């Protein structure tokens, strides 16, 4: 089968792999759509994320949807059924899994994170427990972005935003825009958005932000100098944490969703300390796929307009470059391994 390989910074190639052989409790899938995620871009630009580095060519891709090749009695689903796939397979045995925090499992097998191959290929073998049937009114591309929405749902769940609290979302990429939609539909208090790119800041305003700008200092003006109660940071910038510290009020809360460049942040500790801030890092998601599917199927969340560019698998190198350079007002590039656009 055809597959996409990353073998180092900015090195994307098309090659071949043997067809996957499903193991115990696995099923063979034909991959329908795969999104390029911000974490994929870290592998593309830097060759790794922290300790997870490219040591040999591997297949990226963890935001994906697929179709069952045959009827599956274990799932009670027919052949051809579209499914969303949770890319994480936690061990189910460690302290954190047993406590209900599977998203923190240190033994997780994660599709598209070295050394495990992902879904930028024609076929993929996945555990039945990680598959979620998708209704007909959700497209393959939208089904792939359910993973993105899942991360946003988990972040907003963690934030526990009160009805009277103000919110600022840093970053208007796909995760930030999903968070924006989730927060604005749940409450009437102002939700603000910051992104350094004009087209993304404008998109946030169209999708419900009370105010949207390019510089974090705008938050002070919008709040009379007070700052917001909650900041959800969803950028890829090593300045994201510092900007969150600047935007939040005294005694406020910060939730860090993004993965920073160079695997680190630099903050002005005196400001954070004097504000007495609460800071939490957000790691993937819990069991949220059913909620995500219901929201999209019911028209409560718009994933469709986030898919701005679509490519066949053979054009993966162009897609990675476009998304990494934020060209042509890109939000999300989606690859189609099994069909020609």
Residue 62, CA atoms < 13 Å, CB-side half-sphere: 25
pTM for this one? Answer: 0.94
Q: Does 2-145+303-336 match 150-281 in CATH topology?
A: no
Hey, where are the domains in the chain?
A: 2-145+303-336, 150-281
Question: In the CATH scheme, what is the homologous superfamily, with its name and number, of domain 150-281?
Answer: NAD(P)-binding Rossmann-like Domain (3.40.50.720)
Please check the confidence at residue 188 and state whether its pLDDT lies above 70.
Answer: no
For the domain covering 2-145+303-336, report its CATH number: 3.90.180.10
Question: For residue range 83-121, what is the model confidence (pLDDT) as tens digits?
Answer: 999 999 999 999 999 999 999 999 999 999 988 999 999
- List of residues 6+ apart from 279 with CB closer than 8 A: 253, 254, 255, 256, 272
pLDDT the model gives residue 340: 44
Cβ neighbours, 10 Å, residue 248: 27
Q: Work out the average pLDDT over 169-194.
A: 91
47 with 9: CB under 8 angstroms? yes
């Amino acid at each position: 089968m055809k597959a996409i390989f990353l073998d180092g910074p900015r090195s994307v190639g098309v090659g071949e792999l043997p067809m996957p052989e499903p193991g115990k409790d696995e099923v063979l899938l034909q991959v329908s759509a795969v999104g390029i995620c911000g974490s994929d871009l870290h592998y593309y630009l830097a060759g790794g994320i922290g300790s997870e580095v490219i040591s040999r060519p591997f297949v990226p891709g963890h935001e994906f949807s697929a179709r069952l090749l045959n009827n599956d009695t274990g799932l009670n689903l027919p052949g051809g059924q579209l499914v969303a796939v949770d890319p994480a397979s936690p061990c189910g045995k460690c302290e954190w899994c047993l406590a209900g925090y599977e998203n923190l499992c240190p033994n997780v097998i994660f599709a598209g994170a070295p050394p495990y191959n992902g879904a930028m290929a024609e076929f993929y073998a996945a555990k039945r427990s990680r598959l979620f049937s998708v209704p007909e009114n959700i497209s393959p591309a939208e089904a792939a972005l359910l993973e993105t929405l899942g991360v946003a749902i988990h972040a907003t769940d963690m934030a526990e935003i009160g009805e009277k609290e103000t919110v600022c979302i840093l970053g208007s990429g796909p995760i930030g825009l999903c968070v924006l939609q989730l927060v604005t539909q749940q409450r009437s208090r102002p939700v603000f958005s910051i992104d350094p790119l004009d087209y993304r800041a404008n998109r946030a305003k169209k999708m419900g932000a009370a105010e949207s700008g390019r510089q974090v200092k705008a938050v002070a003006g919008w709040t009379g100098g007070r700052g917001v109660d909650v900041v959800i940071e969803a950028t890829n910038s090593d300045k994201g944490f510092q900007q969150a510290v600047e935007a939040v009020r005294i005694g406020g809360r910060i939730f860090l969703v993004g993965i920073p460049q160079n695997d680190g942040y630099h903050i002005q500790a005196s400001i954070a300390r004097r504000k007495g801030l609460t800071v939490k890092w957000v790691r993937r998601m819990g069991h949220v796929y059913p909620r995500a599917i219901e929201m999209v199927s019911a028209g409560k969340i718009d994933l469709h307009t986030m898919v701005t560019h679509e490519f066949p698998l053979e054009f993966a190198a162009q897609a990675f470059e476009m998304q990494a350079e934020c060209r042509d007002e890109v939000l999300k590039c989606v690859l189609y391994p099994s069909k020609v656009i």
